[in-house]
Structure 1
Amino acid sequence: MGSAHCPICDSASVRVLHARRDFPVFQNVAYATAAAAQAAPTGQLDLCRCDACGFVWNAAFDPALMAYDGSYENCQSHSAVFGRHVGEVMAAILDRLPPGERPDLVEVGCGQGDFLRGLLAAHGDRLGRAAGFDPALRRPDPDGRPVLVAGLLDAAALAASGLRPGLVISRHTIEHVPDPRAFLRSILAAVRTVDGVRLVLETPDVDWILRNGAIEDLFYEHCSLFSGRALEVALATTGFAVDRIERVFGGQYLLCHAHARGTGEVPPAPAEVPMDPALAGAALDRKTAALSRSLARLAGEGTITLWGAGAKGCTFALLMQEAGIRPRFAVDINPAKQGRFLPKSALPILSPADARTAGADHVIVLNPMYLDEVRALCRQMGWTVPLVGIDSLTA
C-alpha cells in the first residue's frame, strides 16, 4: 500500500478508501483511433485517506507513467458556466490585492495560458508582468504578455523571465503532484527573493467528492486530493500561512489564499475540520450502490449517452462498462476532443450536433454545474432528449 503514514500530517491513522486496477493514467488525453484508446497506458489506484487531516492520496501512484505533453487537453473555456467561475476567481484574487499594488505574477501549471491571458486582458491595469509555466504547453512564448514557458517553475526559469513575482497562482495542479509538500517548497524556493509573496491555490475538495459519492472524480491523474484541513496543514508546514479557504464552483473546489513567511507550525485549532472518517467511506459505498441501481434501470429503458469527455466522462464510462453497460458515445463541446476516443473504454466523442443526429434515449450530464447550460443548448438545437443529472442517480 505504500507509506502507512499520511504524506501531509504524518498521522498513522490511515485507511484504504478505494482501489481499482488497470486504470488509464491519463483521463484528459483523447485518442485518434479506438485501437489506440484501448491500448492507453494504465496504472493502479490505491486511494488511502488520513483520518486526522482528511488527505486522500494514491499509494500506488507511479510518476514514471506520467509524461504531460501537448496531447494533454483539459480546456474548459468553451463553457460559459466555467467562464463565469473563472471570472469569479479572478475577482477574488484582485479583491485581496492592496490598493495601488501592481505585482508581477506567475502561474504554476498554466495549461495553455488561457487563465493568465484572460486575467491580463480584464485586469492588466492592476497587475505587473506575468509568466506561466507548464510542461504540457504547446506554444511557448518567451516574449509575450504573458511569457509562457514549456517547463517547470524553478529559480533559474524565473530568473530568465526577469520577473520578481509578488503573486503566485496555481489552479488545478497540486492534485496532480505526488509530493505536494515538495511542490509547495519548490514554489517558495523559486520566489524566495520576494518578501511576503502571496499564493493562490485552487484544487478539488475531496470532502465534497466523498460526501456526494462522486466516484467519477476519483482517478489516476489526481493522486493528491485535499480537504480544507489537509491544505491548511500542507501550507503551514512548507513556509506559508493560510489567510482564507473558501469553497467555489458549487462547493466542488477549494480556493485558498496564503502568503509566505509562515511560522512552519500547524495551527493548533483547525479552521477546517475534515469529514468524519466513519462517514467518508460509507457515503462513497452508499452512493456507488445507488448509482449501480439507477444505471441498470436506465439501461433497461434505452441507450445511455454521457455529456462530458473529460476526466469524469473517462472514469464514468469505465464504471458503466464494469457494470456490463456500455454507453453509446460521449458528447463534448470542446472541438479538440470531438472525433476522438476516450482512453481504455474507446468511447467515441461527438459534438452536440453529431450527437443529435445519432440520437440518444438518455443523456447523463456528468457535472451538475453544467446541467442548466446543457439543457439550454439542447433546447437551442431543437434536441428533445431526456437529460439526467448525475446527482439524481445517487439520491
Structure 2
Amino acid sequence: MRATAPLCCPLCGAQKAQAIFRLDQVPVICNQLWPDPAAARTAPAGTVDLQLCRDCSFIWNSAFEPDRMVYAPGYENALHFSPRFQAFAAELAAGLVARYRLAGKHVIEIGCGDGHMLDLLAQNGVASATGFDPSMAGVTSPFTARDTVEIVGEYFRSDQLDRPCDAILCRHVLEHLDDPVALLRDIRRAIGDREVPVYFEVPNAGWMLEAVSMWDVIYEHVGYWSAPALTALFRRTGFEPLSVRTGYGAQFLMIEAVPAAPQEDYLDPGAARICAAAQAFAEAAGAEVQRWRRRLRDCRGKVVIWGAGSKGITFANAMGEAAPGLCAFVDLNSRKHQRIAPGVALPVIAPEQLASLRPELVLISNALYEEEIIAQLRAAGLHPDFAVIAG
C-alpha cells in the first residue's frame, strides 16, 4: 500500500496536520439558492475534512476542490437586511474613514457583494469607492446609484491596484481562498512603497471553536481564521497589524494593517491556545449533532429555520431525516424568497407567511438576531417555541 503524503499547511508550510472534524455530503455552495426542489436536491455536494496545523493553528479543509467553486450571479449572502447588521456596518464604515482620513480619497473593496459597504464609505465622504465581485457581473445594485461608487463584475487582480488607491478592504473573502498567502503577497507587491492601509474581515474561528458551532463549517470556506493564524498571515506577507479584534458578537475577526517588511517565519504565541480549543471542538462536535437530531426527531409540529444562510442550511442538511417536521426557511432578504435551499430542498419564505404556516418551533440560526426575531413574531401575534442553533 502506498503511503499517504503528509498534509502541508497552506499558511506556514508545516507538515503537522491533525484531523479535527468531518462532514460529508454538504452543499458546495450554501449561498446559491435554486429555482425548484429537483434542482436543489441535485445541487453539487462535497466533503469537509478539517485539519489543524499544530504549528501556526491554521485550520483548513483538506478535501476542498477549488475548481468546484463558481461565484456567479445568483450567489446571495448579503446580511444587511438585519437592523443589527446595518448598525454594525455603518459604524465600521464611519470608523475606517475617520481613522485613516479617507474623506476625499479612493478606496477599493475586494469581494464587495452588492456594494453595501461601498455606499456606506461614500456616505462618509470617500471620493470614490470601487469594488470587485464576479457574482455582480451583469447585475444591478441600488448601492451603485452614486456616481462615486462602482462595481466591477469580475475577480480582483493585483494589477487593478495601479489606479488611485488610499485603502483596501476585503471582507469575508479570505476564508474562500485555497491560497491566501498568494493574495496577500500580490497585494503587498502592488502597494509597493505606498502607505496604503488594509482592512480584512473574516469569520472568527476562535469563536466557532469555543461555541462548538459546527454549523459555521461550510464547503465554501476552505480556511478558518483565528487571531493567531491571521496575525501570522499578515506578518509573513509584509504587513504590520495595527489592531486585531473581534466584532459582531465576537463572530467576526477584524484586522487593520499597514505595509511593512515581511517576517517570513513568524508564528504567533497564541497558536497553542487555538490548538487546544480545536481539539476540544473535535470531541464536542459529534455530540452536539446527535443532541439536535434527538430533539428534532421528537418534535411533532412544524419546524422552521429563521435564516437561509450558511449556518441554517448547513444545520438542515446535517439533520436530514432526523428532522421530519422541518418544512421551510424564513429570511428577511426578499431576493431569497420563493427560492429553494440546496441539498435539503426546503423553500425560503417571507416572515409574513408564518401566520398561515403557524410553526410549533422556530430555530434561530444566529443568536445575534434572537431579540429582533422574537419581537417581530410576537408583534404578529405568533407564539411558537424558539431555540438558537448557534451562538
Same fold by TM (over 0.5)?
A: yes
- TM-score by length of structure 2 reads 0.91
Kept after mapping to 1: 8 A contact 2:296/2:322: no
Cα displacement (A) at 1:147: 1.9
Q: State the match for 2:140 in structure 1.
A: 139
Tell me the distance in 2 between the aligned counterparts of 1:279 and 1:321.
28
Kept after mapping to 1: 8 A contact 2:121/2:129: no
Q: 1:79 aligns with which of 79, 82, 94?
A: 82
Q: State the match for 1:235 in structure 2.
A: 234
Matched, 1:330 2:329: yes
Letter in structure 2 aligned against 1:119: L
Cα displacement (A) at 1:330: 1.0
Tell me the distance in 2 between the aligned counterparts of 1:379 and 1:46.
41
Letter in structure 2 aligned against 1:178: D
Cα displacement (A) at 1:145: 1.7
Tell me the distance in 2 between the aligned counterparts of 1:319 and 1:131.
38
Letter in structure 2 aligned against 1:297: R
Tell me the distance in 2 between the aligned counterparts of 1:3 and 1:84.
45
Q: Which runs of 5+ in 1 are unaligned?
A: none
Letter in structure 2 aligned against 1:196: E
Q: After the TM superposition, which of the residue ranges 313-322 and 32-41 deviates more from structure 2? A: 313-322
Q: State the match for 1:47 in structure 2.
A: 50
Q: State the match for 1:186 in structure 2.
A: 186
What pairs with 1:1-395 in structure 2 (closer than 5 Å)? 4-98=7-101, 102-121=104-123, 123-124=124-125, 127-137=126-136, 138-139=139-140, 144-159=147-162, 163-192=163-192, 195-267=194-266, 270=269, 272-273=270-271, 275-302=273-300, 303-321=302-320, 323=322, 325=324, 327-391=326-390
Cα displacement (A) at 1:188: 2.5
Letter in structure 2 aligned against 1:182: A
Letter in structure 1 aligned against 2:295: R
RMSD: 2.4
Letter in structure 2 aligned against 1:53: C
Note the alpha carbon deviations across 1:190-238, whole angstroms, 9 max, x for none: 433x612100000011111111110110010011111111111111111
Kept after mapping to 2: 8 A contact 1:213/1:288: no
Letter in structure 2 aligned against 1:281: Q
Q: Cα–Cα, structure 1 residues 18 and 102, in superposed 2: closer, same or farther, change >3 Å? A: same
Letter in structure 2 aligned against 1:170: C
Tell me the distance in 2 between the aligned counterparts of 1:143 and 1:337.
25
Aligned length: 383
Cα displacement (A) at 1:260: 1.4
Tell me the distance in 1 between the aligned counterparts of 2:45 and 2:390.
28
Q: Which runs of 5+ in 2 are unaligned?
A: none
- TM-score by length of structure 1 reads 0.90
Note the alpha carbon deviations across 1:114-139, whole angstroms, 9 max, x for none: 11012212x01xx2322111111123
Kept after mapping to 1: 8 A contact 2:21/2:282: no
Tell me the distance in 1 between the aligned counterparts of 2:306 and 2:323.
19
Kept after mapping to 2: 8 A contact 1:207/1:275: no
Tell me the distance in 2 between the aligned counterparts of 1:229 and 1:340.
39
Tell me the distance in 2 between the aligned counterparts of 1:151 and 1:340.
25
Tell me the distance in 2 between the aligned counterparts of 1:250 and 1:112.
23
